[in-house]
Structure 1
Amino acid sequence: MKLRTSLLALLALASTACAEDKNLFNGKDLTGWKGLDFWSVEDGCITGRTTKEKPTKGNTFLVWQGGEVGDFEFTFKYKIVGGNSGVQYRSKLVDEKGYVVAGYQADFEAGKTYSGILYEEKGRGILAQRGQKTVIKEGAAPNKPKVEVAGEVGKSAEIQAKIKSEDWNDYRIVAKGGHLQHFINGVPTVDVTDETAVGAKKGILALQLHAGPAMVVQFKDLVLKETK
C-alpha cells in the first residue's frame, strides 16, 4: 500500500511539473501577444521585420499577454538577419502606444559581440558581458550599480563560435530570485547575481525589434516553465 501511495504521489508530482510548461505561441497567429504591425507570423514563426521604407523610430516590442512572471525557465529558438534583438523578462511596459519595454534583456544579434549578454533596457545598461559571472551591487545611484566580475562561464570567442549565423539557435533563460543565467545552444553565456534593491523579481515577457538598419528576427518553440 505504501509503495502504491508513493508511486501515485510521484505520478501526481510529474503531472504537475509537466502542467507547468506553457507553449506561448500557437504557430498560426499572434494570439496572446500584442505589438505594432512590424510583427506577423511567417512560415509558422513569430516574425519581426523592418525595412528601409518602413523602419521603427525606436526599439519596439511584442508583448506576451499572459501576465507577470517571477522565477522561471524560458526556452525558445531564434534566427536573426541583420540588426539586434532579444527577449525582455521581469520587465515593464513603459509606453503602451509604442510598445516600449524596460527591464532585463537576454540579448542576441546578427553581429559577433553581444549575443548572450545581460542588458537592462532603458535602465542600468550592460550587467554582464558575454562569458562573465558578475555580482551587481548598490552603486552611487540606482541606475549606476557596481558591477563586480566574480569569474567567468566561458570565453566570449568560444561562445560565439557555437552560434549559427542566419540560422536557428536555442536560447534558455533561467531566473531564480536574484540569480539570472543565459545559455545559447546549451553553452552558458552569463551568470549574474543581482543584489540591488531595484533588481526586478517579476515582470512581463516581450520580444524586441531594434531600431536601426533593416532586419528580420524570427522566434519559434517558445516554452515557459514557471518555477515559483
Structure 2
Amino acid sequence: MYAALLLPALCFGFQDADNAEAPQSLGATIAEAESVPLFDGQTLDGWRGQDGLWSVEDGAIVGRTSAEAPLKVNTFLIRDEPAENFELRLNYKIEGGNSGVQYRAEVFDEDQFRVRGPQADIDSSPKYSGIHYSEQARGIVALRGQMTKVVPGGKKGVNQFVGTCGDPATLQKKFVKDGWNEYRIVADGPTMSHYINGQLMSRVTDTRPDRETAGVIALQLHQGPPMVVRFKDVTIKRAP
C-alpha cells in the first residue's frame, strides 16, 4: 500500500453516511445465502502461501515475519476459489506492521504468492485500517471515512469523492487496540463496502468497464519490519 489518493478538484454529492447501508442490487441475495467457513480452525487446508511464514495457532491463521529474514515484497496466503459477489467475515488481530484482506484478486507471481486487486486494509497504526486499497494497481481508492466512485479515465480510472461515512479519528475509536476486531467485506456488483466492528469504514463504487469482478481471496503479510497478524472465524456468503 502507501500511495496517494487521486481526488478531483470538485467534490459533489456530499452526505453523512454514518449508518449507511450498501446500495441495493444483490444485497438481499447475499444476505440470505448460506455462510460457508473458509478456515477449519486447525489446518491451512484450502490455502497456500510461502513456507515458513504461515501457521495455525490456537484456532487462528498466523502470519509472522522476523528481523532476521525480512520480506522484500508483500506476500499472501491465497484461497483459490474465485469469489464474485459475496459477504466475507473474519476476525483479525495485528502486532506491528500492515496487512489486509485481498478479494476479487489476481495471482500474478506464483513463486512469491503475490496478488493484485482490491484490498480491505489492516494496520497496526491508526492510519490505514478500513481503507480501500488497490494492491499493485491503483493505490489508495478510498481513505477511512470516504465514499468514492471510480470512473473511466487514463490507465487507472479516476477516484471521485462523493460522500463521507464518518470522521476518520472517530471511526478509529471503533477499533480494539491489541485485540480482536471483526472485518466484514461486502462485494456487491460494482460496490465494495468495508465494515470493522459493525461500522462502515469506506465504500467504493467502481464503474470502469474493466473493473475487477471476480478473483481469489488472500491474506497479506507486508514487507518491512517484523510483524504478526492473526485471522480466525473466516466465513463467506456467496450470491448464487
Normalised TM-score (structure 2): 0.85
Which residue in 1 is equivalent to 2:230? 218
Give the letter for the 1:92 counterpart. Answer: E
Once the two structures are TM-superposed, the CA of residue 202 in structure 1 deviates from its matched residue by 0.6
Residue 130 of structure 1 is aligned with which of 141, 144, 162? 144
Q: Counterpart of 1:158 in 2: which secondary structure?
A: helix
Deviation per CA, 1:19-74, whole angstroms, max 9, x where unpaired?
x2110011111001000120111111000000101222210000013x21100000
1:95 aligns with 2:109: yes
Distance 2:139 2:210 in 1: 13
Shift of 1:124: 0.7
- Partner of residue 119, structure 1: 133
List per-residue Cα deviations over 1:80-131 (Å, max 9, x = no partner). Answer: 0000000000001000110001000000100001000000000011110110
Equivalences for residues 165-184 of structure 1 within 5 A:
165-184=177-196
Letter in 1 for 2:79: W
Q: Secondary structure at the match of 1:154?
A: coil
Does residue 146 (structure 1) correspond to residue 161 (structure 2)? The answer is no
Q: Measure, in 2, the Cα distance between the counterparts of 1:112 and 1:29.
A: 31
94, 106, 123: which one aligns with 1:109: 123
Distance 1:107 1:197 in 2: 24
The one-letter amino acid paired with 2:56 is V
State the distance in 2 between where 1:95 and 1:215 align: 22
User: 1:155 corresponds to which residue?
Assistant: 167
Query: Secondary structure of 1:68's partner?
Result: strand
Displacement after TM superposition at 1:164 (Å): 1.2
Tell me the distance in 2 between the aligned counterparts of 1:198 and 1:126.
Answer: 18
Give, in whole Å, the separation in 2 of the partners of 1:107 and 1:60: 14
- Structure 2 CA distance for aligned equivalents of residues 30 and 158 of structure 1: 36
Distance 1:92 1:227 in 2: 20
Q: Is the Cα–Cα contact under 8 Å of residues 30 and 41 in structure 1 kept in the other structure? A: yes
Q: 2:62: which partner in 1?
A: 47
Equivalent positions of 1:57-72 (< 5 A) are 57-65=72-80, 67-72=81-86
Name 2:213's counterpart in structure 1: 201
Q: Which has the higher helix share?
A: 1
Once residues 54 and 185 of structure 2 are traced to their aligned partners in structure 1, the CA distance between those partners, rounded to angstroms, is 23
Amino acid at match of 1:153: C
1:25 aligns with 2:39: yes
Task: Tell me, in whole angstroms, the C-alpha distance in 2 between the residues paired with 1:114 and 1:40.
Answer: 25
Q: Letter of the 1:55 partner, please give it.
A: P
Normalised by the length of structure 1, the TM-score is 0.89
TM-superposed CA distance for 1:75, in Å, is 0.4
Query: Tell me, which stretches of 5 or more residues in structure 1 are unaligned?
Result: 1-16
Q: What runs of 5+ residues in structure 2 fail to find an aligned partner?
A: 1-31
The total of aligned residue pairs comes to 210
Amino acid at match of 2:144: R
Once residues 162 and 151 of structure 1 are traced to their aligned partners in structure 2, the CA distance between those partners, rounded to angstroms, is: 20
What CA distance in whole angstroms lies between the structure 1 residues aligned with 2:180 and 2:42?
19
